[in-house]
Structure formats: C-alpha cells, structure tokens
Structure 1
Amino acid sequence: MDVRDRVRGCLLGGAIGDALGAPVEFHSLRDIRRDHGPAGLTGYVPTWRGTSGLVTDDTQMTLFTVEGLLRAAHGNRSPDDAAGGAPGGSPDGDVLRCVREAYLRWLDTQDHHEPPPADRPHRTGRLREEGWLYSRRAPGTTCLSGLHRPFPGPSPLGEPGPVNPGSKGCGTVMRSAPFGLARRAPREAFELAAACAQITHGHPTGYLAAGAFAAIIAYLMAGEALEPAVHGALGLLAGYPSHEETTAALRAALAAAAAGPHSPERVETLGGAWVAEEALAIGVYCALAEPSVERALLLSVNHSGDSDSTGSVCGNLLGTMHGADALPEAWLTPLEGRRTIERLAAELS
C-alpha cells in the first residue's frame, strides 16, 4: 500500500469515526440502545442542524494540526506558495510555533462566525478561510482555555507542562495522528506529538498518550501490524517518567482484545475515554478486536463515553492500516469536509 493511501485513509477514517460518534457523545449505552435499537448505532444519524456525517472539534483540530505541520515544512509559508518537501524539515521549535499558530486559527473558528480580519501574524492560511469550519462542535474546554494562555515551550517529557498542568483530557490524543504521518521515525513522532500536546494539556499522561498514539501511527505507516505497533509504543513509553497510566491503559487494551468476546460492555471496562489514555486504549482495542473496518468503527462509538473521540482514534488507526479504499463508501460520500480532508492528505503525502 502506498504512503498516499495510508495518509488519506488515516485522515478520512478519523473523520468518519468522529462523525459516527458525534450524535451519541454524552449518551449512555442504555440510551443508545433505546434510541437506535439493540445493536446501537449502525451508521450515521442526524446531529447538528438535523444533518448526518458532520464532524466535531476532533477532526477540526486534526486538520489544523496538518496545516501547522505543512507550514513548518514550507518555512511558515502556505504550501501553495512554496516548493514541495516532506513535513518535519524545520527545527522542532519552528514546528511547535507553527502548530500552535494553527491551533489559534482553529480557535478563531470557534470564536467567530466567519474568518476575522487577518490582523495578527497567525491569521493567515487557507484552512481558516473555509466557512464550514466556523461552527462550534462541543470543543474541549481545556483546548480552549489552553490556547488563551501563553506557551513558553514544552517541559521535559514526564514532567508537568506549563499550560493546564493538571489536565489529561482526550483533546491531546484525538488531534495527534498527523504527527505519525509527518514524522516516520516513531520516536520522533512520539516526542513531537507530546511536545505539541503540551500547548494545551500539561498533565504527563495527557501528552504521553498523544505521543504513544503518534508513534503507533508511525509504526503503521512503516507497514507494521497494529499489535506490534502498540508494543513498539510501549517500548518507547517505558523510557519516560510518568508513563505508567498510559502503559497500563494500552496493556489493558491488548488484554481485552485477546480475551474476547468483543462487545460494548468490554469497551466500557477500559473507561469512558474522557481522559487521554482511555480514549487511546478504546481506539486501539476496537481496531484490534474486529477484523471488519465497519464493525470496528461501530464498536468504537457504541459505548457510554466520549464516542466521537474514540471513533476518531479508531478510524485513524484503521485508515492507516488498510488505506482509504477500505473505508465504507456509504460513510465517505456524505462526510462533511471530505474535499478539504483529501486536499490536506495529498499535501501531507
């Protein structure tokens, strides 16, 4: 499978999982089954404005992560105005700055109804001009508050970060797949994702889980199967202080996938996914437990927790493993922002 198909699959798969889970975020499993039948969700259902296939802040922030990485690769210029080149060509300090500026452009989409005047250095970029992104989709409060604070730079990995040092919400993990697409060396992907997660979340578990997720994606990009990729990420985690919660969550996901039978009830033994390590564990478990892409995505959203984030993580994993052609066309066709997602995937490849 070529790199372009894996990158495209990762970004589209994450958006599909996000759109599947969005209507039932905050709903209990009992309520999901009451409203949608004994099998729970079996496909898209209407959400905001009565429309199905709409994404949330998970996909929005993932796309702005991609744009930040692309800007860093092109010397902080739009790819439209620069020669080609693989993301990651700039020093990591420049990448951190470009990613944070991209998140500030995402923040504009949450605070305004249309693109505000380009009166600040960060307010330039093609993505911020796309009107469909100017819609609040239950953004994480820590992401919002973190971006309103100065960011002096990341702390050494394993120590509390400078912004929201007590928060380990899943807003770190759900946006971090692109680091594994841009940095093909798993350790580099891990460390860059963890550093950029500190832009908003300073709890070591929150940002180390983001690093582990990016490393898993990098292993998958190299052709590894998912279980060895998870073991590779566990090996990296062991080298950093404060890794224990993330390590325990990933080990629990591996054990659950090996145990069977696979069910929403077993998903819920891994937590509610409101925190980073649980969202990562549930996404990994569902991608491991079900050989069918469609069934794995449905398993990842039918539970009493942060269904859009677990759907997004699972979709990123499945899309990277199997490529875009394995994603159900019935879910691709109505997917919000598909053209933008495919454009950014092509630029990142």
Structure 2
Amino acid sequence: MNPNRAEGVLLGLACGDALGRPVEFDSPEQIADEHGTLTDMVGFGTWNQPAGTLTDDTEQALCIASSVAEHGSFDPADVAERFRTWYESEPFDVGVMTRRSLEALDRGAAWDEAGQSVWEDSPEGQNAGNGSVMRCPPLTIPLRNEPERLVEASKQSSQITHADPRCTWGCAALNLTIAGYLTDREAPLQWALDRIRSDAPDELVDALDPIAAGETPDSLSTSGYVVDTLQTALHDAIAADSASDAIVTAVNRGGDADTIGAVAGAVAGARFGAVDLDREWLVAIDETEAMRSLAIALV
C-alpha cells in the first residue's frame, strides 16, 4: 500500500484532534464569533494549551500504535498497561468511562474486566461514549487485509474501557471503513456495514446506513455519544473534497470538536493521504515526524 495513506490515518487523526482541542465544548456560533471559520491551529481556548497540542484522543491512539509496532501484533493486555501508564502521567483530559476503567485496571482488574464492570455500573446515557472510537484507527494499518482479525481487535481495543456493544461494534465499523479506503474498496462504509450488520446493534447500523447511501440526516449531532460521533464524522469524511476540508467541517461544528475532528481526520486521511493535510497543521504538531515513522512501522 501507499505509505502516504497509512501516514494519513495517524496524522489525520492528530490534526483533527489538535485543531478541535481549543474549541471543544464551544457551539458553532461561539467558534464563528471568535474565529470565523477555524482553519488554523490556535493556542489556549479549552484546556488552555499551546497551538498544536494533542489530547487523549491521539495519545491513546499512539499507545495502541506503539504497542502493535513493538510486538508485531495486537495485544490487548499490553495496550491496557500502556493506557494505565499514560493515565499515571496525569494527562489534562481523560474521559469519564476511560478514567473509571483505568482506575479499575490500577486496582488489578484484567483488561477484559475493567471496562465491562464500568459499563455494567453506568446508566443509559452515560455508558456509550466515543472514547474508544477516537483511538482505534491505528489498528487498520497492519490489519487492513484481514477484516475478521480487524473486527476482533477493534472490539477488544474498545472493551478495555468501553464495553457497550455500540462502542465495540462502532470501533469495528470505523476501522473496517478505514481499511476499505486503505485497500481501495468501492464504497468502504457500505462494505463495512454489510460485514457487521447481522451482529452489530441496530441503533448503530441504522444511523450509518444513510451515510453509506450518500444521504445527509436532518441533523448531525456533536455530542460525545458514540453513535452520534460516528454518524457525523463519517458523513464529513465521506462528503469532503479533501482531508483538510473534512477536518475543518467537523471541527467547526463544535461540541466534542476534537474527537469528531479526530475520527473524521483518520477516515479522510486514509481516503486522501497525508499529503492532502494542511502543511501548517503538521508543522504545528511536535509529534508529526514520530507519527510518520510509526505509520511506516505499522505498514
């Protein structure tokens, strides 16, 4: 495969994350009032960090990528340990379910028990966040030609912190779609949905079927709910004319802007390649060259 497309997955995710970080939780109107259309990496804002700063979205994705590159395969126990070590570094942004699951790991829970127990203890409305779909795309690079293994690894990567079937199968749907772009399949999202349709939750499939058909729903939500995130991010990535356009559109919707930007960026990066990303964005992100090397290692 073209290494530029693999780089696009990691760098597209990072660009969406970093561009969206300063406007996370803002409304579209607030973003427009302050920035017009936000197209440049800016500093401070939400989380009060310098321009180009990455959040938990990319940091956890790099935990997965580094583990797979080092071991040559996906080892969920090793990834869980890397998540736990990352959490001990006191990152400035950690999702609620992720934090609770990693604290369970810290108490000795196994990788496949921590997220499960947190999910079972969480009420509906607080049990299916987007904290696992934002980090899972690196798995697509080494497993792009092995859809069954990719589905299993994607689900397991989610289960560490997000065991709800909408999350586990959401990771599978996203990663199959990205793999479809990396391997030049026709209609990657449709191909992904057809592979998981009989097993995935109806709520997830029903939300993504219109996107696969090229339709735009009446409203696209920017909440932290995993189904909303996937519907909006996949819409923006598939409808865009470039990777940068996909990220700008997603981020300027506001709400959970960094995560929706990251997911849209990973898909659009696979679709168009890293060469299609704004060069100034890549310059602003300190980790760009390290991520290029990591993408090549995963290929």
Q: Same fold (TM over 0.5)?
A: yes
Separation in 1 of the partners of 2:272 and 2:254?
27
Cross-structure match for 1:141 = 96
| SS class of match (2:41) | coil
Q: 2:190 is matched with which residue: 231, 252, 255?
A: 231
What letter is aligned with 2:133? V
Q: 1:331 is matched with which residue: 281, 290, 296?
A: 281
Task: Report if the CA contact (8 A) 2:57-2:262 is conserved.
Answer: yes
Cross-structure match for 2:88 = 108
* Residues matched between the structures, number: 287
Cross-structure match for 1:35 = 34
Task: Report if the CA contact (8 A) 1:68-1:101 is conserved.
Answer: no
1:234 Cα deviation after fit: 0.8
Cross-structure match for 1:280 = 230
| SS class of match (1:288) | helix
Q: Which runs of 5+ in 2 are unaligned?
A: none
| SS class of match (2:215) | helix
Cross-structure match for 2:77 = 97
Cross-structure match for 2:139 = 179
Cross-structure match for 2:54 = 55
1:147 Cα deviation after fit: 1.2
The range that moved more, 41-50 or 327-336, is 41-50
Task: Report if the CA contact (8 A) 1:21-1:308 is conserved.
Answer: yes
Separation in 2 of the partners of 1:249 and 1:205?
11
| SS class of match (1:197) | helix
Task: Report if the CA contact (8 A) 2:133-2:226 is conserved.
Answer: yes
Q: Report the TM-score, using the length of structure 2 for normalisation.
A: 0.88
In the alignment, structure 1 residue 246 sits paired with structure 2 residue 188: no
1:294 Cα deviation after fit: 2.2
Task: Report if the CA contact (8 A) 2:242-2:268 is conserved.
Answer: no
Task: Report if the CA contact (8 A) 2:22-2:48 is conserved.
Answer: no
Identity %: 28
Cross-structure match for 2:215 = 258
What letter is aligned with 2:215? A
Separation in 1 of the partners of 2:21 and 2:104?
28
Cross-structure match for 1:210 = 171
Within 5 Å, which residues of 2 pair with 1:309-328? 309-328=259-278
1:68 Cα deviation after fit: 2.0
Q: Which runs of 5+ in 1 are unaligned?
A: 74-86, 89-94, 111-134, 260-265
Separation in 2 of the partners of 1:292 and 1:5?
14
Separation in 1 of the partners of 2:81 and 2:221?
32
1:154 Cα deviation after fit: 4.2
Cross-structure match for 2:42 = 45
1:314 Cα deviation after fit: 0.9
| Larger Rg belongs to | 1
Task: Report if the CA contact (8 A) 1:8-1:345 is conserved.
Answer: yes
What letter is aligned with 1:284? L
Q: Report the TM-score, using the length of structure 1 for normalisation.
A: 0.76
C-alpha deviations, 1:136-179, integer Å up to 9, x for none?
Answer: 2x221211110121444649xxxx94442342110010001012
Task: Report if the CA contact (8 A) 1:283-1:310 is conserved.
Answer: yes
Cross-structure match for 1:6 = 5
What letter is aligned with 2:170? A
1:197 Cα deviation after fit: 0.5
Q: Relative to 1, partners in 2 of residues 1:252 and 1:270: Cα closer, same or farther, differing over 3 Å?
A: farther
Cross-structure match for 2:298 = 348
Structure of higher RCO (CA pairs closer than 8 Å, 6+ residues apart): 2
Task: Report if the CA contact (8 A) 2:238-2:268 is conserved.
Answer: no
Separation in 2 of the partners of 1:232 and 1:343?
29
Task: Report if the CA contact (8 A) 1:249-1:270 is conserved.
Answer: no
Task: Report if the CA contact (8 A) 1:62-1:176 is conserved.
Answer: yes
Task: Report if the CA contact (8 A) 1:58-1:171 is conserved.
Answer: yes
